[in-house]
Amino acid sequence: MCLDIILSIFSEAITIIIGSIILFFVVIYLIGIIISLSIGAIVWFVLLLTNPLTWIFLIAFILGGCLLLNKRIK
């Protein structure tokens, strides 16, 4: 009976630890998504207020960044 109680205490503790680690990663990813969406909304709003020449430069910077990220190292 004593071993059953100790086993249940340890199993609950392990469950809490694993659950908190998973919840920590979920919260960090959600914070990252919220930040990126807010920056995207700000950029979109600024693009609405500026001239189309700014759009061309921004699209060029985004495409250049994507090309740099996809560049293969030889």
Count of CA atoms in the C-beta half-sphere (13 A) of 49: 6
User: What are the pLDDT digits (tens) for 26-64?
Assistant: 999 999 999 999 998 988 888 788 888 888 888 898 898
pTM given for the model: 0.56
Question: In whole angstroms, what separates CA 47 from the centre of its chain?
Answer: 24
Domain ranges (residues) in the chain: 2-69
